Amino acid sequence: MKFLGFLVGVLFCAGCYSSPYSGLKYEPLFVNEADLEKNWFGNLKGYPVVDGVLVSEKKSGNIYTKKSYQDYALKFEFAVPPGGNNGIGLRTAHPSDKFVNRDVAYGSVELQILDDTHPGYKKLKPWQFHGSAYGLSAAKKGFLKPVGEWNSQEVIFKGNHLIVKLNGVVIQDSDLSMVEQKKSPYNKKMLGAGRNRGAGHIAFAGHGPNIKLRNIYIAELEDDYTVPTTDDNVAPEGFTALFNGKDLTNWKGLLLKPYDKPNKRRDLDVNKLAELQKKADESMNKHWSITKDGELFFDGKGFSLATEKEYGNFEFHVSWKIAQNSDSGIYLRGLPQVQIWDPSNPKVQKHGAAKGSGGLWNNKEQGRFPLVKADKAVGEWNHFFIRMIGNKVTIWLNSELVVNDAPLENLWEKGKPIPTKEQIELQCHGDPVWFKNIYIKELP
C-alpha cells in the first residue's frame, strides 16, 4: 500500500492535538485518571495513576484500548527504571478471542519498551531491544535517554508499514509483511502471529514494575481499503492490473470437474493439461466477455475464470456487482471462497445471507461470516480489498473490515495445509456477475 511517508514528521507535545498532515486530529487515550476508565479495560489495577502518570506494578498484566483501531499514529511519553521491560501490542486481538494467543508477543505484534543498557540484556537478539517488533524486525539502538528520564515515542502503523520514532529519530521503518517471523528463544514458538491483522486493540503488556507512561494520544489515519482513485482498470502504485478492460489477457478458463481442484490437477501431464485447458478456454470465451464500458461480464451459463499465473502471498483489489438473488465468490489459491451473494435472497437466508458478503464461506471456524454487513444495494458496485499471507486472510468490503486475519481452511483436502501458491478464481455459481478494477501486489 502507498504510505504517506512524511507522517513521520508529526509533532509531539502534550498540548498539540493536530498533525500538519490533512488536519489529522489526535484524541487522548490517557492524559488524566478519568481517561483510564473511559478508554481502557483489562487489569487496570495493575497500572495505578500516580501524580497523573500510569505506573506499572510488579504483576501489572495487560490493559487494552476499548476501541479497536486499523491505521493510526500513536504518540506517548515513557520512562523506564533500571532493567525496565514492557511492551505495546499493536492491533491486538480481544483477550476473549479463543483463536488467538493472549500473550501479545505471540498472538499480536509486540513493540518493545526496554532498558537497552541493562547488563542483563546483553545477549538479547537484535529484535528484542527497545522499539523492535518482537520476533519480526529490529530497531536501531542508542537513542533512549538515560534510565529514569522521559522519552517521547511515535508509532505509525498503516497497512503493514510500521514506523517507530524515538526522541525525534526514526529507529524502525519496516513492512511487516516482508519480514520473516522468528521463533521465541525460550519455547521455540512462532512470534508475531498477528502481523497481518487488519484491526485490533492497542495494549500495554506488563512484564515488570515501575514503567511510567503519560500523555498517550492517538490519531486514526485514512485507509487504503476503498476503491483506488485511479481510472477504472488502471492499477494504483505498487499494484499490477489483472484485467485491462479490453480482453481476457491474464485469464484462463477453469478446468472442468474433477480437475477444477488443485489437488486433482496437480499431477496432470503436460499434454493432458493442454487438452483440458483448451476445452476450458473454449467455454470461457463463450460465457465471459467485455462490456462496452470495460467491465468483465459472466452470463451465468459457463464455468469459473482463473488467473493464468499462480500467487502465494498478495494484496488484491476487485470490484464486483451482482443481479438480484445472484451468488458468486472469489477463490484464493484455488480454494473456496470469499462469499458474494444477495443478502436479501430469500432462498439462502437459512445459510446466513443476511449477514452479508465477504466471509470465508467454507470455513468451519474463523471468518465464516463477515464481522459486519457492508454490502451495497444489488446492482451497485462493491469492492473487496483482500490481504493473504501464509494461510491467513484479511478482507475489507467497501472499506469495512469483514474478516480479520482468519486462516483459510482446505476444503478439498481437509486437515492438510493449503497450497503455498495457486491461481485466483472468479466463481461461476450459475448467475450473472460483473467485475472490474482487478489489481494484485505480490508479497514475499
| CA 333/CA 337 separation, integer angstroms | 10
Confidence grade of residue 7 (pLDDT, cut at 50, 70, 90): very low
- Burial code of 173-212, b = ≥16 C-beta within 10 A, e = fewer? bbbbbebeebeeeeeeeebbbbbbbbbbbbbbbbbbbbbb
Least-confidence region, from 14-28, 147-161, 348-362: 14-28
Integer angstrom CA distances of residue 202 from 156, 174, 175, 335: 12, 19, 19, 33
Tell me what pLDDT residue 18 has: 38
pLDDT at 22: 56
- Indicate if 240-443 has the same CATH topology as 5-220: yes
Q: Give the Cβ contact number of residue 382 at 10 Å.
A: 20
Return mean pLDDT, the chain.
Answer: 92
* DSSP states of 147-165: TTS-EEEEEEEETTEEEEE
CA distances from 302 to 59, 145, 329 (A): 62, 66, 15
Instruction: Give 221-235 pLDDT, tens digit per residue.
Output: 988 888 899 999 999
DSSP code of residue 9: G
Contact assessment for residue 383 and residue 317, using Cβ atoms and an 8 Å cutoff: yes
State yes or no: pLDDT of 3 exceeds 60.
no
CA-wise closest residue to 160 among 181, 183, 190: 181
In the chain, where are the structural domains located?
5-220, 240-443
The three three-digit cell numbers of residue 270, written as one number: 503436460
Quick one: pLDDT at residue 285?
97
- Output the pLDDT for position 11: 37
Q: To which CATH superfamily is domain 240-443 assigned?
A: Exo-inulinase; domain 1 (2.60.120.560)
Q: Using an 8 Å Cβ cutoff, are 52 and 246 in contact?
A: no
Q: How far, in Å, CA of 265 to CA of 259, rounded?
A: 5
Average pLDDT over residues 287-295: 98
In this prediction the pTM is: 0.86
Domain 5-220: CATH class, spelled out: mainly beta
Q: 213, exposed or middle or buried, with CB in 10 Å at 0-12, 13-18, 19+?
A: buried
pLDDT over 70 percentage in the chain: 95
- The string of pLDDT tens digits covering residues 215-269 is 999 999 988 888 899 999 999 999 999 999 999 999 999 999 999 999 999 999 9
